[in-house]
Amino acid sequence: MSKIKVLAFTVSLDGFGAGQEQSLENPLGKRGEQLHTWMLSTKMFHQMTGKDGGTEGLDHDFAERSMENIGAWIMGRNMFGPIRGPWTDDEWKGWWGEEPPYHVPVFVLTNHQREPLTMKGGTTFYFVTDGVESALEQAKQVAGGKNIRIGGGVSTVRQFLQAGHIDEMHLVFSPAFLGKGEHLFEGIDLYELGFSQVQKIEGENATHIIVAKT
């Protein structure tokens, strides 16, 4: 049976998952890239982006594990791209080039209709206009019993948390303060939502926290 998971989701020490003013030049917002230095140096990320080298160790292991046993993804429109409003054309195909790293169906939450987008390597983006419940139901139908990964941005994770759908979260606390941006935990009571199992592992460049429901 599929589990709904948030994996390798990075937050600052003050709880922000992205900075302010996300754009094509700053997809994670101002100073947001600082959150992800733990992953950018890993061998896994180098391989995913067609580069040689990269570090091994716990951070690499967590990054690599986050892509395993995934049958479908759900992400917000911000994670797919910086375009706002109606889709005026089909030119924008995501941040990842012709072969995105997902290799499974990806359901993108949006308010504006767009035809499915099939990419190399088995990734097809489906644009869901009728909310998180519909996206989750569609993801379950294609996941084949594998896990469903909830990607960014912060708003998407918060919606699935508030709806009570997430079974497990792997949060990565990067040693940085953003001060402003999109806060993951504001108004969220994880204990009330049933998260009571906590595991803490120190990586080379970040702290990994795994929380799960009893």
Q: 87 in a domain, yes or no? A: no
* Residue ranges making up the domain that contains 130: 4-82+98-213
pLDDT in tens, 162-180: 999 999 999 999 999 998 8
As a dihedral over the C-alpha atoms of residue 38, residue 213, residue 133, residue 100, rounded to 10 degrees, the angle is 20
Residue 71 has pLDDT above 80, yes or no: yes
Q: 146 in a domain, yes or no? A: yes
Q: 90 in a domain, yes or no? A: no
Q: Which of 10-24, 26-40, 87-101 has the highest mean pLDDT?
A: 87-101
Q: Evaluate whether 173 touches 206 at the Cβ level (below 8 Å).
A: yes
Q: 93 in a domain, yes or no? A: no
Q: 91 in a domain, yes or no? A: no
Percent of the chain clearing pLDDT 70 (strictly above): 96
Q: What is the mean pLDDT of residues 8-16?
A: 95
For the chain, the average pLDDT equals: 92
Number of alpha carbons in the 13 Å side-chain half-sphere of residue 107: 24
pLDDT band of residue 107 (cuts 50, 70, 90) is: very high
Q: 31 in a domain, yes or no? A: yes
Domain count along the chain: 1
The pLDDT value given to residue 21: 67
pTM: 0.93
Q: Indicate which CATH number applies to the domain containing 74.
A: 3.40.430.10
Per-residue H/E/C for the chain: CCCEEEEEEEECCCCEEECCCCCCCCCCCCCHHHHHHHHHCEHHHHHHCCCCCCECCHHHHHHHHCCCCEEEEEEEHHHHCCCCCCCCCCCCCCCCCCCCCCCCEEEEECCCCCCCEECHHHCEEEEECCHHHHHHHHHHHHHCCCEEEECCCHHHHHHHHHCCCCCEEEEEECCCCCCCCEECCCCCCCCCCCEEEEEEEECCCCEEEEEEEC
Residue 126 has pLDDT above 70, yes or no: yes
The pLDDT value given to residue 78: 86
Q: Cis bond leading into 29, ω under 30°?
A: no
Q: 89 in a domain, yes or no? A: no
Q: 9 in a domain, yes or no? A: yes
Residue 190 has pLDDT above 90, yes or no: yes
- Out of 59-63, 118-122, 177-181, 190-194, pick the least confident: 177-181
